[in-house]
Structure 1
């Protein structure tokens, strides 16, 4: 018996969405790694427009 159209057990939400969550996690990780590699590349590490230039130069002296 359903009350106002609701079933006794809720429709599964997380179980059918696990591939999308896994793919989103992998995509986020890979894009962040590519961004980090791009920011730290020799061509852009010393560029004054790079917001991480000061941090990269401090790490390079260690």
Structure 2
């Protein structure tokens, strides 16, 4: 049976979506790395408003 002349074709989810999944994963990874680099930069590492300041200070002493 067709709906408005369109036939139902079985399309797996991953086959047409793999470029978007790959690009999204890569973007998420790179944004996370950039955020970590920004938080650990010399300018922001000693800022008291930085929520990771204590952790960075502890790691820098070792």
Give the TM-score of the pair, scaled to structure 1.
0.82
Please give the root-mean-square deviation of Cα atoms over the aligned residues, in Å: 1.8
Aligned to 1:49: 49
| Stretches of 4+ aligned residues off by more than 3 angstroms | none
Asked if 1:24 is matched to 2:24, the reply is: yes
Structure 1 residue 10: Cα displacement: 3.4
How many pairs align?
59
Unaligned runs of 5+ in 1: none
Aligned equivalents of 1:48, 1:56: Cα separation in 2? 12
Unaligned runs of 5+ in 2: none
Give the TM-score of the pair, scaled to structure 2.
0.82
